[in-house]
A and B are shown apart, each in its own frame.
Chain A
Amino acid sequence: MHGLEFDIAHFLAGSMVVISLLLLYQDRLYALINVFAGHSLTLALAVGWQAYIQEAHHLYVTAGIALVFKAIFIPVALHRIIRKLGIHRTLEVVGGVGRDMLAGAALVALAILVMLPVTAGADALAREDLAFALAVVLLGLLLMISRHNAVSLVIGFMSLENGLVLAAAGARGMPLAVEISVAFSVLIALIVIGIFLFRIRERFDSVDMQAMDAFRGERRR
């Protein structure tokens, strides 16, 4: 492995973690979607670079899918959705940048602590990639549980999925069919979630999950 190739791959994967951290403290929805677009763009670049250095041509397709769907189509669709819902100016209360950043940093540390000893036999690039991917997944989950807005939940879910694709691209061996079907299922998820967002909005006048809990008829504990 040449030094430069490794460095670039490392840089791109690391950038994804950094962008995941950026996602954590975006309190405006437009900004959140834009950062997510950046996240997906970085993913497309990372996967494309992997395709180049591994000479695995099917990964170009994966990168293409990430670029077209996740970096362009989904952000545009989400833009339209929030404009239609009229929540594009909503400010979401994010519970303290410092707290989220500390938690995020701890998760990244955890991911590295777990992955590096486990993959001791694998080559350096795969190890780094897996550690970064796990960090992205964990940060996506953290995003999902720290937000109230349903659109933010969707963004968290999509960024988590980006982490999975990163892991798969680094691990050399995920067949293209799997990747296409995953991308397809994410699209379906977007459609379903989009429809649901409108339905929820129609029913409850809000896409705030906390407001919805009150309607479930259960006593809050």
Chain B
Amino acid sequence: MPLPLLLSLSMALLTVGIYAIATARHASCSRRVYSVALAISGVALILVLTHLLTASAPATLTLPLSLPWLGAHFRLDALSAFFLIVVNLGGAVASLFALGYGQHERAPERVLPFFPAFLAGMNLVLLADDAFTFLFAWEFMSLTSWALVMAHHQESANARAGYLYLVMACFGTLTLLLAFGMMAGPNGGYDFAAIRAGEMTPGLAAVVLILALLGAGSKAGLVPLHVWLPLAHPAAPSHVSALMSGVMTKVAVYGFIRIVFDLLGEPMAWWWGGLVLALGGITAVLGVLYALMQHDLKRLLAYHTVENIGIIFIGLGLALAFQANHMYASAALALTAALFHILNHSLFKSLLFLGTGAVLTATGERDMERLGGLIHPMPWTALAFLMGAAAISALPPLNGFVSEWLTFQAILLTPELPQWLLKFLAPAVGALLALSAALAAACFVKAFGITFLGRPRSPAATQAQETDRYSLVAMFTLAALCLLAGILPGLVVDSLAPVVGLLNGGAQLATQHTQPWLTLAPIVDAKSAYNGLLVLLFMALSGTAAALLIHRFASSASRRGPAWDCGFPDASPATQYTAGSFAQPIRRVFGSIVFQARERVTMPPPGDGRPARLEVQLRDPVWDYGYAPITMAVIAASTRANHLQYLTIRRYLSLVFGALVVLLLGMALWR
């Protein structure tokens, strides 16, 4: 019975949004809205968890809403249940965080009505079972999140981000609309059951694949459609950023999976997988390279979302390639890796954004160059952020490692693919994945080190205070989940099994929780296995032993020497290592090619009082070669067409007349 309940919970969220419109200016409204959202998301989470864990049969429901001849179809199956877990977990934690964080909101009347509506929109996308309901909910989700991005619209950067987001969202929905139109065919079978039953020609299916890649990819942030994401996600309030980055991109991935794996059925050509794989690899590396160049904490995280979407799409591409060659066991592994990473990314990216929100509340700064030393005033936030950073950098025993390890295991199976191009492509993508993992680690050393370690670089950072208890509970919930998913991956993989089975023609990984010592051994006959619990035990034991040994055997004799100045003899905080210094070596290696990075040193002549300046100029290749030409073409065309606005009335009539005659002539000659 969970489906009607879930729908009514979504309706309840919408009602809360309407209630918030009326009362947003009251001081107590924020707390009320967020606690109700928390309760609703919590109930929904429990409902879908039981649905997934008991592996219940799919439930369907048709309501006499939407288009009169179609009705609104809803369906709850394993795939939507899994994504509903991601959405409602993220929603619950973000609401919990906002119980404290929302008190600092400058314009609550611009946030409170849209926050529950945004959650409801995401829930409805996942429950939709016909094209109209899906697109309606998708667009509703886009628009509410756009409203949240525009919450602080007085800042011109936010307004620009919102505009770009709106354009890209429209583009994405348009391509999805075309994709569904193609799948529904001339008879207009728009409910998903009819689409699944229908047969498609390989050519049409390939067009649908590309349209789905464009539509879902533009929402998820696939390079080169990612340009709006690093602008829009940071512009929203932090708990909304956490939802957009951690959860909404996953809803976009859901759209892709639903269309390509479920509705289209079996992939019809091997190049499908190759295309997705290559895009994923490029996205992963470019995302993390962009992230390294950023000194704005939230934008850095947003670029990391792009990277992680790349990793997810690598998994999906591998699954498509395996499925096209009927290697379902390998496809199950790749799919498990992708789904696991979806869950993981939603956990640690939400955690990191919430941590950034805490820093933002405490200092009012997002620019790393003005932070520093926050571990002293905010030790708990620092610990939670560190766990998130370790998780996203794929360090064992946390969860990021497991899913990336599974992805690598899947890549190691690709030599069995018959197509030579894939044989070569997959290891190359594997190298890209390894590179991006290493760069991500470098990036988070920078993010954590510059923000939390060292000495404060600005007065605001000096006066920071630990964040409130709600926010800490929210962050530590996520941190604990990151750790749990890392040390008990077998349980997660087992609960993913029905989802994988649904997408993979029934084939799924072997049951993991029966393995001895909760080891994760995805391929039974191979020797590769991972045990997070043992890694944690080993780390704890060796760490304790090392500490004991040092304390026991280190010399206690006093020595005399110069006082250590911690590496900077000049006492000014400005002489510390900065975020820019961290990024500089990597910028030298990659940036000069990818971003055409140019450094310019302006040294004033002796006697001139001006300071010396070091300027770094970066260019975005995607913007320069992808978007700028399109923008120029649109502007050129509209300038050309502009004089159509100033014709005389007779010219307009002549245009109408000419068009009519040409059409009629065409009609007469055509037949």
CB within 8 Å of B: which residues of A? 107, 110-111, 113-114, 117-118, 138, 141-142, 144-145, 148, 209-210, 213, 216, 218, 221
Instruction: Flag if B653 contacts A213 (CB, 8 Å).
Output: no
Q: Does B660 contact A (CB under 8 A)?
A: yes
Instruction: Flag if A138 contacts B661 (CB, 8 Å).
Output: yes
Q: Name the distance in Å between A160's Cβ and chain B's nearest Cβ.
A: 11
Instruction: Flag if A114 contacts B668 (CB, 8 Å).
Output: yes
Partner of A118, one of B643, B648, B665, B667: B667
A-side contacts of B657, CB under 8 Å: 138, 141-142, 144-145
Instruction: Flag if B661 contacts A221 (CB, 8 Å).
Output: no
Q: Name the distance in Å between B660's Cβ and chain A's nearest Cβ.
A: 7
A-side contacts of B628, CB under 8 Å: none
A-side contacts of B656, CB under 8 Å: 141
A-side contacts of B654, CB under 8 Å: 145
Instruction: Flag if B665 contacts A144 (CB, 8 Å).
Output: no
Interface string of B591-611 (1 = CB under 8 A from A): 000000000000000000000
Instruction: Flag if A209 contacts B648 (CB, 8 Å).
Output: yes
A-side contacts of B671, CB under 8 Å: 117-118
Chain B contributes a number of interface residues (CB within 8 A of A) equal to: 16
B-side contacts of A218, CB under 8 Å: 646
The contact sample of 14 A-B pairs, CB cut-off 8 A, is A110-B668, A114-B664, A114-B668, A117-B668, A118-B667, A118-B671, A138-B660, A138-B661, A141-B656, A145-B657, A148-B650, A209-B649, A213-B648, A221-B643
Query: How long is the Cα–Cα vector from A22 to B661 in the complex, in angstroms?
Result: 21
B-side contacts of A107, CB under 8 Å: 661
A-side contacts of B653, CB under 8 Å: 141, 144-145
A-side contacts of B649, CB under 8 Å: 209
Query: How long is the Cα–Cα vector from A218 to B660 in the complex, in angstroms?
Result: 27
Instruction: Flag if B646 contacts A216 (CB, 8 Å).
Output: yes
Query: How long is the Cα–Cα vector from A35 to B509 in the complex, in angstroms?
Result: 86
Instruction: Flag if A114 contacts B661 (CB, 8 Å).
Output: no
Q: Name the distance in Å between B448's Cβ and chain A's nearest Cβ.
A: 62
Interface string of B80-123 (1 = CB under 8 A from A): 00000000000000000000000000000000000000000000
CB within 8 Å of A: which residues of B? 643, 646, 648-650, 653-654, 656-657, 660-661, 664-665, 667-668, 671
B-side contacts of A142, CB under 8 Å: 657
Instruction: Flag if B664 contacts A110 (CB, 8 Å).
Output: yes
Query: How long is the Cα–Cα vector from A145 to B655 in the complex, in angstroms?
Result: 10
B-side contacts of A144, CB under 8 Å: 653, 657
Query: How long is the Cα–Cα vector from A90 to B38 in the complex, in angstroms?
Result: 80
A-side contacts of B643, CB under 8 Å: 221
Q: Name the distance in Å between B190's Cβ and chain A's nearest Cβ.
A: 31
Partner of B660, one of A113, A141, A209: A141
Instruction: Flag if B650 contacts A145 (CB, 8 Å).
Output: yes
Q: Name the distance in Å between A203's Cβ and chain B's nearest Cβ.
A: 15
Q: Name the distance in Å between A146's Cβ and chain B's nearest Cβ.
A: 9
A213-B648, A216-B648, A218-B646 known, 12 other contacts, Cβ within 8 Å:
A110-B665, A111-B664, A113-B668, A114-B668, A117-B671, A138-B660, A141-B653, A141-B656, A141-B660, A144-B653, A145-B653, A209-B649
Query: How long is the Cα–Cα vector from A138 to B664 in the complex, in angstroms?
Result: 11
Which 4 pairs across A and B sit closest by C-beta, in order of nearness? Answer: A113-B668, A218-B646, A213-B648, A141-B657
Query: How long is the Cα–Cα vector from A142 to B664 in the complex, in angstroms?
Result: 15
Closest to A116 in B: B668
A-side contacts of B648, CB under 8 Å: 209-210, 213, 216
B-side contacts of A141, CB under 8 Å: 653, 656-657, 660
Closest to A106 in B: B661
A-side contacts of B665, CB under 8 Å: 110
A-side contacts of B661, CB under 8 Å: 107, 110, 138
Closest to B646 in A: A218
Closest to B653 in A: A145
Instruction: Flag if B650 contacts A209 (CB, 8 Å).
Output: yes
Partner of A114, one of B646, B650, B667: B667
Query: How long is the Cα–Cα vector from A221 to B648 in the complex, in angstroms?
Result: 10
Query: How long is the Cα–Cα vector from A119 to B660 in the complex, in angstroms?
Result: 19
Q: Name the distance in Å between A78's Cβ and chain B's nearest Cβ.
A: 19
B-side contacts of A114, CB under 8 Å: 664, 667-668
Query: How long is the Cα–Cα vector from A118 to B668 in the complex, in angstroms?
Result: 9
B-side contacts of A118, CB under 8 Å: 667, 671
B-side contacts of A117, CB under 8 Å: 668, 671
Query: How long is the Cα–Cα vector from A114 to B661 in the complex, in angstroms?
Result: 11
Query: How long is the Cα–Cα vector from A113 to B667 in the complex, in angstroms?
Result: 9
Closest to A217 in B: B646
Query: How long is the Cα–Cα vector from A76 to B671 in the complex, in angstroms?
Result: 45
Query: How long is the Cα–Cα vector from A56 to B646 in the complex, in angstroms?
Result: 47
